[in-house]
Each structure stands twice: as structure tokens, then as C-alpha cells.
Structure 1
Amino acid sequence: MIDNQERKAEYYKALVEKKSEYEGVFYVGVTSTGVFCRPTCPARKPKYTNCEFYETAQQALLASFRPCQRCRPLSHPNQVSDIVRFLVEAVEQNPEKRWKGHDFRALSIDESTARRQFKKRFGMTFVEYARSRRMGLALKSIRSGEKIINTQLASGYDSSSGFRDAFSRIMGAPPTRLDDSRILKAAWLDTMLGPMVAIADESELYLLEFVDRRGLESEVARLRKRMKAAIIPGQTVAIQSIERELTQYFEGTLTEWKTPLHPIGSPFQQSVWDQLRQIPPGETRSYADIALALGKPTAYRAVAQANGANQLAIVIPCHRVINSSGALGGYGGGSARKEWFLNHEKRGVSNK
């Protein structure tokens, strides 16, 4: 979600005036209706306080907004094919559905064609689109912070059982079994680079990831299994702490991460993560540099694997590790975010 107040004011003015030159630049989510729109939507304009602005349709979907039926934001800039339109409508009819190959065959739609057309039109495959919509709905419960899981999951949805299943697949918290497990709390955190999910107990942070990170569901499942814990929506002291510090980080005012962490990994992984935390803001290291610092100069591939296994994004700064060639290298949250973090931190250092 875009939090810059000047940018939000600019986008709201463009929305009110229906400026076509902003098409594709932003999407607006309307909290009072739960829909997201194009800048030129013909519907009555919402109040400024009810608007949330996003750079991509996927961000709006992940924030639990559904496409507006009047301006059809997923049809821009050109009219979409019948296949794309049909599948978008199918997702809205059953947003909790997990699509499989036989579902396409039942509709006489070629799965590869759907993948290709969605990728060309929206920059994501159909499965990614459907998953974004499903994740947005499931994590809406986290964002609301309700404490009574059964009431929360059953309210406001056509298929309460479907939503309960979707939430359980993502967070691993079957409501009927919560009393039998250790409890961790999960919260939705909005940042200027997209929503994140934080999982913690009262005192320590276990996971901090962008919601659209590939493999997030598997990460949560591993955490739940390792800790033998159920994960439910809620707030803890550790979550409130990391939320404050994230705000300071993005504002460029954070001097030190103080939220207690509980990273879960092998002794080697822990040693790699300790090295990452020693990289000063504004600087980078290569995988080979980390291996050398550990006294294992040939273990750079293992370092890379440990780097990728980090479940505490930003706080344990795996984004500060690049290739020996100087190339950015991979990053679970996406290369664009990695580049943004590095530039942001360099600016912070130069301004001190």
C-alpha cells in the first residue's frame, strides 16, 4: 500500500478528476465497499479517508479488495479475452477455491492458455491471481485482529467452511484444535512495499515475510510443525514492537532493531544469520565473503541456501548479500524490493 501522503493526495485528485494518464499507475481500494478500481472509474467517488492506493492489482487483491464490476480494473488497458473474463468471474464466485488441472478441463479451458493470457495481461499467472485473492481474504482476518476465531472466520463470507479451510491451509490453525496446541499470534502489517505478515509469541518474533513471497504457506507450515503450535490472528508485544520499528525503518529513522527474535534453523544457518546482522546498513557482502568470515571459504553455496532460508525479512538483512560479480542475486521478496532496500539504506547512511 502507498503510504506517502503527497502521493496519496496526488492520486486522489487524479481519481476525482478521472485522469486517464494515471491508468495503470495506481489502483484504489475503497474500504467502505471492499472493491478496488481504476483511476477513471465512473462510480461515485469515495471519501479520501476510505481510499487505499496500490501500485499493482495484485497488491490490492492481497489486501482483500475485489475487482470493481463497473470499471473492471483487471480489463485495463485493453479488453481482455473471454477466457480471462470468465476465469476472473469464476474466482469471484468462489474465491477460496484452489484451482487444479481438472478444474480447467471441466470448463473446457486449456490451462497453459489461461496461464499465458493472465501473465501477458496482469503480469501474473491465473494461479497466482487466484492465490492472491484467496490470501487476501484469509489474511483479512489477521488484519482485523479478532480474537474469537470461529466467529471471525464464519462472518461476512458466502462459504464459511471454505474460508476456514483457506485460513487453515495458510496459517495452520484449525479452530477446533487450538486448545491442544501452543499458540502463536499472526498479524497483517501494511508497509510501503506491500503487506507483510508477522508471527510471534508475547516476547519474540518468529517470522516476518511479505505476503506475496513464494512459498509463504510452506514456511508457515514448517514453523507450525517445528514449534508444534497453532497460529491464530492477534497482537503481541513483539508484533507491536516490530510494527513500530518497521515504520521507523521505512521512514529512515530507525537506528537499531530491538525486537527480540526467535530464528529457527540449524547451527550453520544460525551462524550465517548472525553474520548477516553484522553487515552495516548501506553496505553489502557476497556469499563468498560470508563463507570466509565463517572460516569455511568453500561453503558459499551453503551460505546462499541459509540466506534463502531466513524467515525474518529485513530484520535479518539477507537483502544485503549479493553475488561476487556485483549483481543483486536472488531475494525471496523480489529483486525490486531488494534494490529498494539497498538504495534506501545507502541514502540513510549518507544523510547521517
Structure 2
Amino acid sequence: MPTYVSHMNSPIGRLRLVGDGNALFSLTMEEQRHARLDDAGWQRDDAAFAEVRRQLDAYFEGRRTTFDLPLAPAGTAFQKMVWAALAEIPFGHTENYGELARRIGSPGAARAVGLANGRNPIPIIVPCHRVIGADGSLTGYGGGIERKRWLLQHEDQAVPNAQGRLI
């Protein structure tokens, strides 16, 4: 089955969408850590991502708080468990790594949860930006802390300022 790619502009920069025409495999931002490099075999097909674009546009315009898309992220069983738990964090809410680890039944695995969170191949839709440090601080984000801050502010979350205090 072919793999398709498309790009779209957003308030947080250009996004790359990759999938097979049925399910979304990845969404990456410019200069994102752990982003898969373009594969020469991918075919550009903007039409294959019409629904993904429609839902992302509605999210960025403040008209959508959840996504209803077929997703097929590649990862380990543990990563997929973490990503499924991320998808359960409601719009406008945050959770810290320890809380997420406890919720998936691995209370001592906050660090492993953080690593899986950082490898999330479908950010925004699978909302890894909603995971924060135990002290409420913004922690690493593959797309960069400023994008994480923007996404949380977009969702009306109080976010820490440069000194780590909530604003």
C-alpha cells in the first residue's frame, strides 16, 4: 500500500501529514525532534488528508476540542499504551508524567512515560502537549516549548512563565 504525504500551514507553523489514505501515521512540525525524514517512496496527495486538514483547521480556529480520525502510529506496545492514555486527556486539561504513569498502571514508570510521550508520532491530535512536569512547569516538547505554550494557551490553560510560575 502506498504512503502519502501532504503539508498544511497552521498557527504553529507548517505541518507534515503522512498516512496511507485511510489512517494517519504521523504529523510532524518543522524542526521537530524525532521526526521521520521524508522517504523517497512517499507520494504527495493532498486529497488523502482532507478530513485531517478539516479537523485540524477547526481545532486551530477554536471550533473543535476532540479529533475523530483513524490513526495508525508505529511504536512499541508500551508506547501505544501511553499514546492511548494521552488521547484521554481532555481539551483544556493537563496531567503530569507521574499521574499518567499511575493511570496506565505503571506508577514507577514516569521516566519511561516521558520517553514514550516524546516519541509520539501524532502530536496535537494525540495531545502530548498536555503533559507537564510534576511542579506544573512546561517540560520538553518535540515541537519546541513555545509551540507547547501556544497549544496550552490556545486550550485556555494557565502556563508557567520563564520563572516556572503560573501566569
TM-score interval (norm. to shorter): 0.7 to 0.9
Q: TM-score, normalised to structure 1's length? A: 0.43
- 4+ residue segments displaced more than 4 Å: none
Aligned residue number for residue 253 of structure 1: 63
Q: Distance in 1 between matches of 2:145 and 2:30?
A: 15
Aligned residue number for residue 233 of structure 1: 44
Residue in structure 2 matching 1:202, options 18, 21, 24: 21
Aligned-partner SS, 2:57: helix
Aligned residue number for residue 340 of structure 1: 150
2:79 partner amino acid: Q
- Root mean square deviation of aligned Cα: 1.6
2:45 partner amino acid: G
Tell me the alpha carbon deviations over residues 254-293 of structure 1, each in whole angstroms, 9 at most, x when there is no partner: 1431121111111111110111011011110011001101
Aligned residue number for residue 116 of structure 1: none
Q: CA deviation at 1:205?
A: 0.5
Q: Distance in 2 between matches of 1:346 and 1:247?
A: 18
Q: CA deviation at 1:313?
A: 1.3
CA contact (8 A) 1:287 1:323 kept: yes
CA contact (8 A) 1:203 1:236 kept: no
Name the structure, 1 or 2, with higher relative contact order (CA <8 Å, separation 6+): 2
CA contact (8 A) 2:65 2:91 kept: no
2:152 partner amino acid: L
CA contact (8 A) 1:199 1:206 kept: yes
Q: Distance in 2 between matches of 1:248 and 1:259?
A: 13
Q: CA deviation at 1:202?
A: 1.4
Q: CA deviation at 1:212?
A: 2.1
Aligned residue number for residue 97 of structure 2: 287
Aligned residue number for residue 243 of structure 1: 53
Aligned residue number for residue 98 of structure 1: none
Larger Rg: 1
1:235 partner amino acid: D
Tell me the alpha carbon deviations over residues 280-320 of structure 1, each in whole angstroms, 9 at most, x when there is no partner: 11110011001101111111110000000101010000000
Tell me the alpha carbon deviations over residues 56-80 of structure 1, each in whole angstroms, 9 at most, x when there is no partner: xxxxxxxxxxxxxxxxxxxxxxxxx
Residue in structure 2 matching 1:211, options 21, 26, 30: 30
* Structure 1 gap ranges (5+): 1-181, 348-352
Aligned residue number for residue 164 of structure 2: none
Q: CA deviation at 1:233?
A: 1.5
Residue in structure 1 matching 2:82, options 263, 272, 276: 272
Aligned residue number for residue 110 of structure 2: 300
Aligned-partner SS, 1:346: coil
Q: Distance in 2 between matches of 1:246 and 1:343?
A: 16
Q: Distance in 1 between matches of 2:108 and 2:78?
A: 14
Aligned-partner SS, 2:18: strand
Aligned-partner SS, 2:155: helix
CA contact (8 A) 1:200 1:236 kept: no
Q: Distance in 1 between matches of 2:42 and 2:70?
A: 19
Q: Distance in 1 between matches of 2:107 and 2:12?
A: 35
* Structure 2 gap ranges (5+): 158-167
Aligned residue number for residue 188 of structure 1: 7
Aligned-partner SS, 2:46: coil
Q: Percent identity?
A: 37
Q: Distance in 2 between matches of 1:322 and 1:256?
A: 20
Q: TM-score, normalised to structure 2's length? A: 0.88
1:302 partner amino acid: A
CA contact (8 A) 2:28 2:123 kept: yes
Higher share of residues assigned helix: 1
Q: Distance in 2 between matches of 1:215 and 1:302?
A: 16
Map residues 92-131 of structure 1 onto 2, 5 A cutoff: none
Q: Distance in 1 between matches of 2:133 and 2:11?
A: 26
